Structure 1
Amino acid sequence: MDNTPIIAFRDFGFQYTVQAEPTLYHIDLEVRKGEKILIAGPSGCGKSTLAHCVNGLIPNSYPGKATGALTIGGKDAFSQGLFELSKTVGTVLQDSDGQFIGLTVAEDIAFALENDCVPTAEMHETVRKIAKLVNVEQVLSHAPQEISGGQKQRVALGGVMVGDVDVLLFDEPLANLDPATGKQAISLIDEIQKHTGCAVIIIEHRVEDVLYRPVDRIVLMEDGRIRFDGNPDELLSTDLLPQGGIREPLYVTALKYAGVAITADMRPSYLPELALTDAQKAQVRRWFASQPPTPAQPEKPVQLMVKNLDFTYSGGHHALRGISLEVHKGEMLSIVGTNGAGKSTFSKVICGFETAQSGKLTLNGLDLRTLSIKERADHIGYVMQNPNQMISKNQIFDEVALGLRNRGVAEENIRPHVEETLKVCGLYPFRNWP
């Protein structure tokens, strides 16, 4: 591994122009070629800001004041434009849809090559090689919007790999993927890193999922500062992750509940190599056997009833088949399934965004099929996977108040409701922010 850092933060700090306080404080961090680094931390800790400094979105798109030094490829990062930095750092965004340029997968992968005026024959050959490497050969003629979430991420990765970059930066690559597809994504990142030898930076809070394949270092951030930078096994032998609001791997938590002391030499960061003594295994079995059964829940009235629900898209895809279930008052229900299983479609049918061809759908005895989308919104609140698609106002207060205003609630009654909601959500200090 080359010992010269590709990226070097030296006592670096950053404050956005629109904010009163810095987001990053005294960051000292080096990234070398061939390293795979996980940067983790709770929402608002500064990890996305750190990523934006690396890929040039700061200061080129998000201006602010920087202190200290940041060099990328041996040059001052803030003196380089986005185009120049893109030759060193390739970024795969959390929302792959926001990264697509071409009308087809092949065109999207070829975009950077076209900009560099690569000859057509050479371009086609490069696209084929990259498509094979990221396993999207079978969808080259498809529109990016037509393929699955996992395939979209592979296409986005292919689009940045054609530039032969030194650093691949993944901004929350697992956010929109189910666990199985997430494992495939982490495996692909691991394969690409081994194939290219480039540095890989993964911004993610799902630590256990990233550790499906080994990483060299974990950088744990909290309140704009680096709290830990080092060996993953050493980190998991501490309580720093739960203390920082990050869920540690469930198997580590289970071992702690069983009374097993976690040490770095047990290799807790990589489950296939986790080393437990026979005594520790026996200790875990005794703890598991001692757990009481889950207590029976009291019967509650049915609030939402779905019976024999069927839905087929206009293109002929039969997304829902005979769905029947009951949701009781006060119940917390999780609907799980792989990408494409029908989870989002089911939600859209409940909210009225799509109309089922057959079946029964009632809420507190009221037939939802007789209600418009606006009328259903009086009874059902819906949070989309991508919240950016829901935001239409310029300030947080006005955004939260929008639903009440649309329902004709008096303005003097809106403020106390909105302020209480913002306090519950921890957003009251930001109520006047854009």
Structure 2
Amino acid sequence: MDRQAIIEFQNFSFQYYSQAEPTLHDINLRIYPGEKILIVGPSGSGKSTLGHCLNGLIPFAYKGEISGSLKINGLETKTQDIFHLSKMIGTVLQDSDGQFVGLTAGEDIAFALENDNVSHDEMHERVRKVAEMVDMQNLLTSSPFELSGGQKQRTSLAGVMIDNVDILLFDEPLANLDPATGKTAIEIIDDIYRQSQKTIVIIEHRLEDVLHRSIDRVVVINDGRIIADMNAHELVSSTILTENGIREPLYVTALKYASVKVTSDMLPGHITSLKTELSKEALNIWHNAIQADERQNTNSSILRMENVCFSYDGVRPILDDINFDIREGEMISIVGKNGAGKSTLSKLLCGFEKEDCGVIRYKGEDIKNKTIKERAEIIGVVMQNPNQ
């Protein structure tokens, strides 16, 4: 007897009224109860539009023309309203700030229960239980401004779990998270999956990060069409990722640099499962042939920070005693976890904020008194959010 799909697309297409061409073309996809599915694709591939079709934002918020069929729990979504769809599928958006509706984490988690007129005693107990599942039990009284990106996302996750929906949809959950926080997020999603056995759909382009924990299937979408539907080992060992502009895991790239042919029987879907016994000789030859770049840049200093410190509120230091020197022609990467001060440092360089102490020099000149306009003539900046 065939299994009954919990999500079923049949010859499904969608075109926004504002666009001349369909965004989704002839989608055929079945997802079964208890599966954990990753939908991956490059920017503009249609993967988020697919997610909007699942949670009802299409057609109720984003208008367009639909053809074909999409059923959830056997019900045609076209015949449902967004309220009833929200009872079947909970969504965690990539922008956690846009999903926050409460003044505290606890209020945000309880929002759905308040709408259902649940008693206060039951509400507090259910909020406590679900907060423990996402390790937010000690932050229930915190405001959104006091939470990190990862904590906001866990709050959003708890908020959709508390309604006991059958399907959890994650729309690019790693978009605003650093690698370490992203890894933790994937671990939490996997832990919840194992505890609840809910159907999990993750829409993401950071393939390697999601594959930190096991996935049942990976669905590749590009140009609004499903390109592949297979397990991670088969996908990573194929050419589908590179052909569709999706970055393959770095360890796979390294194996290819070492002239190792990556095959599915090597279990390359995750680095911990990867079998390299037959490739050790090639890897050793490649490793020993790599020479470190020992060239020294002797150009003059172009940008220098000396003992720079900064605080937004005058109490908690964001930057403290920052010293570095960048020479002409250098390419520098500034890395750090969420909240480390990377963006704040760039704001000081551009003049969006003023340092509390220390000196910033451009070609030896203190630029403290230069306006934002004057700094823009020597320092170009590309924002993280294009809308800014």
TM range (shorter): over 0.9
What's the secondary structure of 2:229's corresponding residue?
Answer: strand
Residues 1:55 and 1:300: Cα distance change in structure 2 (over 3 Å): farther
Which range is displaced more, 359-368 or 34-43? 359-368
Q: Which whole-Å CA distance do the structure 2 matches of 1:301 and 1:35 have between them? A: 57
Q: Which residue of 2 aligns with 1:34?
A: 34
- Deviations, residues 148-171 of structure 1 (Å, cap 9, x unaligned): 111111001001111111111111
Q: Which residue of 1 aligns with 2:55?
A: 55
1:31 aligned partner, one-letter code: I
Q: Which residue of 2 aligns with 1:352?
A: 351
Q: Which residue of 2 aligns with 1:302?
A: 301
Q: Which residue of 2 aligns with 1:240?
A: 240
Q: Which whole-Å CA distance do the structure 1 matches of 2:142 and 2:19 have between them? A: 42
Q: Which residue of 1 aligns with 2:287?
A: 288
Q: Is 1:130–2:127 an aligned residue pair?
A: no
Q: Which whole-Å CA distance do the structure 2 matches of 1:168 and 1:296 have between them? A: 51
Q: Which residue of 2 aligns with 1:382?
A: 381
Pairing 1:9-408 to 2, within 5 Å after superposition: 9-277=9-277, 279-294=278-293, 296=295, 299-314=298-313, 316-388=315-387, 390=388
**Structure with more contact order per residue of length (Cα contacts < 8 Å, sep ≥ 6):** 2
Q: Which residue of 2 aligns with 1:421?
A: none
2:107 aligned partner, one-letter code: E
Which sections of structure 1, spanning at least 5 residues, go unmatched? 391-434
1:26 aligned partner, one-letter code: D
Residues 1:287 and 1:78: Cα distance change in structure 2 (over 3 Å): same
2:325 aligned partner, one-letter code: E
Deviation at 1:110, TM superposition (A): 0.2
Q: Is the 8 A contact 1:40 1:205 kept in 2?
A: yes
Residues 1:286 and 1:36: Cα distance change in structure 2 (over 3 Å): same
What's the secondary structure of 2:368's corresponding residue?
Answer: helix
Q: Which whole-Å CA distance do the structure 1 matches of 2:367 and 2:90 have between them? A: 47
Deviation at 1:326, TM superposition (A): 2.2
Deviation at 1:365, TM superposition (A): 4.1
1:305 aligned partner, one-letter code: R
Deviation at 1:106, TM superposition (A): 0.4
Q: Is the 8 A contact 2:233 2:268 kept in 1?
A: yes
What's the secondary structure of 2:138's corresponding residue?
Answer: helix
Pairing 1:411-426 to 2, within 5 Å after superposition: none
Q: Which whole-Å CA distance do the structure 2 matches of 1:249 and 1:84 have between them? A: 38
Deviation at 1:72, TM superposition (A): 1.4
Q: Which whole-Å CA distance do the structure 2 matches of 1:387 and 1:129 have between them? A: 38
Which range is displaced more, 163-172 or 118-127? 163-172
Q: Which has the higher helix share?
A: 1
Deviation at 1:383, TM superposition (A): 3.2
Q: Which residue of 2 aligns with 1:6?
A: 6
Q: Is the 8 A contact 1:10 1:29 kept in 2?
A: yes
Q: Is the 8 A contact 1:97 1:145 kept in 2?
A: no
Deviation at 1:315, TM superposition (A): 5.3
Q: Which whole-Å CA distance do the structure 1 matches of 2:137 and 2:295 have between them? A: 51
Q: Is the 8 A contact 2:297 2:330 kept in 1?
A: no
Q: Is the 8 A contact 1:94 1:173 kept in 2?
A: yes
Q: Which whole-Å CA distance do the structure 2 matches of 1:49 and 1:332 have between them? A: 36
Q: Is the 8 A contact 2:335 2:342 kept in 1?
A: yes
Name the % identity: 54
Q: Which whole-Å CA distance do the structure 2 matches of 1:382 and 1:104 have between them? A: 34
- Deviations, residues 303-331 of structure 1 (Å, cap 9, x unaligned): 32211111123151111111112233343
Which range is displaced more, 360-369 or 231-240? 360-369
Deviation at 1:8, TM superposition (A): 0.7
Q: Is the 8 A contact 1:15 1:23 kept in 2?
A: yes
Q: Which whole-Å CA distance do the structure 1 matches of 2:301 and 2:82 have between them? A: 55
Q: Which residue of 2 aligns with 1:405?
A: none
Q: Which whole-Å CA distance do the structure 2 matches of 1:297 and 1:226 have between them? A: 48
Deviation at 1:298, TM superposition (A): 5.0
Which range is displaced more, 346-355 or 214-223? 346-355
Q: Which residue of 2 aligns with 1:399?
A: none
Q: Is the 8 A contact 2:297 2:327 kept in 1?
A: no
Which range is displaced more, 194-203 or 292-301? 292-301
What's the secondary structure of 1:165's corresponding residue?
Answer: coil
Q: Is the 8 A contact 2:8 2:30 kept in 1?
A: yes
Q: Which whole-Å CA distance do the structure 2 matches of 1:207 and 1:327 have between them? A: 33
Q: Is the 8 A contact 2:92 2:171 kept in 1?
A: yes
1:385 aligned partner, one-letter code: Q
Residues 1:60 and 1:315: Cα distance change in structure 2 (over 3 Å): farther
Which range is displaced more, 72-81 or 335-344? 72-81
What's the secondary structure of 1:271's corresponding residue?
Answer: coil
Which range is displaced more, 286-295 or 242-251? 286-295
Count of paired positions: 387
Q: Which whole-Å CA distance do the structure 2 matches of 1:225 and 1:301 have between them? A: 52
Q: Which residue of 2 aligns with 1:404?
A: none
Q: Which whole-Å CA distance do the structure 2 matches of 1:156 and 1:359 have between them? A: 40
